[in-house]
Amino acid sequence: MRRNYLLTALLTVATLLSTHVRAEVDPNFYVYLCIGQSNMEGQGEIEECDLSPNERFQMMSTLDCGTRKQGQWYHAVPPLARCNTNLCPADYFGRTMVDNLGEDKRVGVVVVAIGGIKIDLYDPDVWQSYVNSMTEGWQINSVNAYGGNPLKRLIECAKEAQKSGVIKGILLHQGESDAYNDAWLQSVKKVYENLLSELNLKAEDVPLIAGEVGGADQNGICSGANNTIDRLPRIIPTAHVVSSVGCTLQSDNLHFDSKGYRKLGRRYAKTMLQTMGIEADIDEDEVPQIDYSQPIDMTNRFTYCWNESESVTSENGVLVYKGVQWGGVACWLGSADWSEYAKLVFEFAEPTPIATQIFIQGNEDVKAWVNAGTESAECSFEGHDVSAVSQVALQAADAGIVKISRIYLLRQLSSDIHHTAMPGDEESREFLLNGQPAPQGYKGIIISKGKKVLRQ
């Protein structure tokens, strides 16, 4: 009798535990796996309008990157692949999906992509020999960032994603390297079917959406691959192809520019929505409005150090910089226009044990000294030319460990409007970019109701 009682109790506990686990899976959290080469990892400049996606759009980090940890979900602020990548099709795919699904729906992406690779990287039987044949250091480093086996990392993260959401599709952008014959079609079919098998998915529930490479209309140097890519639905009944016609390219005629990525990502979303029976009216060329009231977080873009003896890691959401004298933890920007910002702010998790210096490199170098024992520091741009910032760093005046909780940009009007607007009148007033009230009849760019508009 006692034995039966104990058995019943154990079964009850087991049932409760299993019910609890199942309850954590949100059927309204739609997850999409994104794989490919350089255009999927993202080569478009991350512009200001790209930095404030809907909170319902999330990304799972597939590796440790800045304060992001592998296997965890985050607000999908680009970059989505790795710390040193840029805007990619998944960015505007996710944003467009949440814009056209109910408010109760969330969208998550899991991105594993490496520039220049062939489809063989995702083939369970040949990936190892393919990796062994690589000779380019940058490519080998990218593979190593995924633990030496990007396919395994993708599957690991996908299984982790299944604990909180439901995989609804696979996005592919690959082919510049090898999509020129029927062998590529068969390889993609094998990769797709292997992912379905590994993750216990059904093809009819998880369509494959493949994007064309840069087209002939844009003088794309790999446009010939589209002849093969377009035939994919003949081999895979649940595959769909997204056109790249009109998606603009960078000067290399290979990678899409930011505008091109936005258009292509929206087309991925439109196609995915169609598979769900949703016909969405999507403006492919819309440039998102910028919310000028919000700071721009830069924390996860500080990814490298100036000296090999230095390091930057993440511990519990804090950047831990182990510096040497006159070394630096840095962020590469290329040529970013910061003219509309007022300052760059560092917030430290602990008072800094050493003196440091904020260093901004561009048309004009801008510096700000930070004393030891400081809890936060800022570098003002007033009177300086920051129209082409190439690199930003926090330099160490001596060897030591600096823990950084947040790095962000503040716009010029964020504090000025607060002081110049009359109480209760903020919504109706208009301001210049420097935060001062716009004169009556002024023509040019102004801030109206917190948004930048052109008054003519």
Active site residues: 38, 252, 255
User: What's the rounded Cα separation, in Å, for the pair 172 and 37?
Assistant: 9
Structure tokens of 259?
Answer: 């505008």
Q: Where do runs of H (alpha helix) occur along 24-114?
A: 38-41, 89-100
User: What's the rounded Cα separation, in Å, for the pair 51 and 41?
Assistant: 17
- Tell me the residue type at 309: S
- Of 148, 198, 147, nearest to 170 (Cα)? 198
User: What's the rounded Cα separation, in Å, for the pair 427 and 423?
Assistant: 10
Q: What are phi and psi of 171, to 5 degrees?
A: -105, 130
Question: What residues form DSSP beta bridges with 31?
Answer: 108, 167
User: What's the rounded Cα separation, in Å, for the pair 413 and 159?
Assistant: 45
- Which residues lie closer than 8 Å to 47 by C-beta, 6 or more apart? 87, 258
Q: Is 100 helix (H, G, I), strand (E, B) or coil?
A: helix
Chain centroid, CA 119 distance in Å: 22
Q: For the CA atoms of the chain, what is the radius of gyration? A: 24
Residue 101 host element (H or E)? none
Q: Is 411 helix (H, G, I), strand (E, B) or coil?
A: strand
Burial class (CB in 10 A: 0-12, 13-18, 19+), 251: exposed
The tally of CA atoms less than 13 A away on the side-chain side of residue 304 is: 11
Residues 420 and 434: beta-carbon distance below 8 Å: no
Annotate 258-300 with DSSP letters as a single string. HHHHHHHHHHHHHHHHHHTT------TTPPPPP-TTS-EE-GG
- Of 148, 66, 67, 163, nearest to 110 (Cα)? 163
